[in-house]
Structure 1
Amino acid sequence: MGGKYRITGDKYPRMRRPRRRGKLILAASASVVALGLAGWGTLQLIDVFTGGDRQASAADHETDCPSAKPSAPAKALPKPAKITVNVYNATPRSGLAKKAADELKKRGFTIGEVGNAPAAYDKKVAGTGVLLGAPSAVNVSFPVLGTQLQGTVSKTDARGTADVDLILGTKFKALSTPQSAAAALAALAKPAPAPSC
């Protein structure tokens, strides 16, 4: 070639793509992060298998479990003799209230009225039974009486007395066995265990 496009000298222009520094920086950052994570994981494994810092004080371990609270003392539940129970039959079967009241009396409960359920509940209790009483009985008398019959529903009314109504429903067959009722009552009296971390 001649003219103004003629190449003179021994240097040729290099035809290569310009370097992309962004990819290089990204690759270097990713490798640093990967190495950091691998090192941290290794330290965690070493702590797990060697027991970690055994010299940590008991106070440090308490802060590791913020939900741990000292176990609550046993609830002071009333004895069955302190609970007056009115037993009502809301089923079409006759004699259930008397039979249940006699059994509760044998188990130490004080029996009040025995008879047919009031009109608001008569033949309208689909489950095994309803515990009905003042709001103050919910955490006191209801749990103790509830150990004698599984599957009861608790309801409150506006009465000013401490007695509790046990209204027997259509699924009622019999009270809990004395052994299972005693075991449930003993479990109620025990304090709740402290959560483990």
Structure 2
Amino acid sequence: MSGLERARRRRRRRSVTVLIVAALLVLGGFAYALAYWTGMAGGGSTEASPTCTPSPTTTPPESRFTVNVYNSSTRSGEADNFSDALKSRDFTVGAVGNDPYKKKLSGVGEIRYGTAGQAYAERFLKPLLPGATMTQDGRTGTSVDVAIGEQFPTVPSRSATPTPSASC
């Protein structure tokens, strides 16, 4: 075999090797792109992005129900502070004072209501007091009691609440 034939054979092998490597790179690129767009490679998302949903309204209809605020914690003045915050949000506040059941609540608190007041308690008070226990009692009216516990959060008055930006 002459030197010229060996050189041609090496060049041909080199060309075939380069073409195979290039074809594999192109094929790998297409496979990755497909996996990316279908979400298998972690880059694409199969879930829809969150849409803007209006926050639940916490302003009650006028005079539809009364909120009684009771302090069931060891801190004094909590019922007064929360009743002021509710009044600034246009709630009708009834009785304010210590818990008539004499309970001492270690959690956020308790929202007590009757059958007629359940919708009001869930729609208007539960969003203000996440973590509060919802308790249905035997009352007949639409009034709702809020018993403040040891871990009760500070609920700002309406004037201190920032207005949400229109990002939708």
TM-score normalized by the length of structure 1: 0.47
Instruction: Give the counterpart of 2:103 among 84, 100, 122.
Output: 122
Instruction: Give the counterpart of 1:97 among 73, 79, 84.
Output: 79
**2 CA distance for matches of 1:106 and 1:140?**
17
Instruction: Give the counterpart of 2:133 among 137, 153, 160.
Output: 153
The structural deviation recorded for 1:159 is 0.9
1:107 correspondence with 2:117: no
**2 CA distance for matches of 1:92 and 1:122?**
11
**1 CA distance for matches of 2:118 and 2:140?**
14
1:79 is matched with 61
Secondary structure of the residue that 1:135 maps to in structure 2?
coil
1:139 correspondence with 2:158: no
**1 CA distance for matches of 2:73 and 2:152?**
9
The one-letter code sitting in structure 1 at the alignment partner of 2:70 is Y
Secondary structure of the residue that 2:74 maps to in structure 1?
coil
* Percent identity (aligned): 33
Closer/same/farther in 2, CA of residues 80 and 153 from structure 1, 3 Å limit: farther
1:54-90: CA deviations, max 9, x gaps?
xxxxxxxxxxxxxxxxxxxxxxx95264331000000
Closer/same/farther in 2, CA of residues 95 and 78 from structure 1, 3 Å limit: closer
Q: Which deviates more from structure 2 when the two are superposed, residues 88-97 or residues 125-134?
A: 125-134
- Greater Cα radius of gyration, structure 1 or 2: 1
What are structure 1's unaligned runs of at least 5 residues? 1-76, 184-197
**2 CA distance for matches of 1:177 and 1:170?**
20
**2 CA distance for matches of 1:143 and 1:153?**
14
TM-score normalized by the length of structure 2: 0.55
The one-letter code sitting in structure 1 at the alignment partner of 2:142 is A
The structural deviation recorded for 1:126 is 2.1
Residue correspondences, number: 109
| RMSD (Å) for aligned C-alpha atoms | 3.1
**2 CA distance for matches of 1:141 and 1:79?**
13
**2 CA distance for matches of 1:113 and 1:88?**
8
What are structure 2's unaligned runs of at least 5 residues? 1-58
* Equivalent residues of 2:66, 2:143 under 8 A apart: yes
* Equivalent residues of 2:84, 2:157 under 8 A apart: no
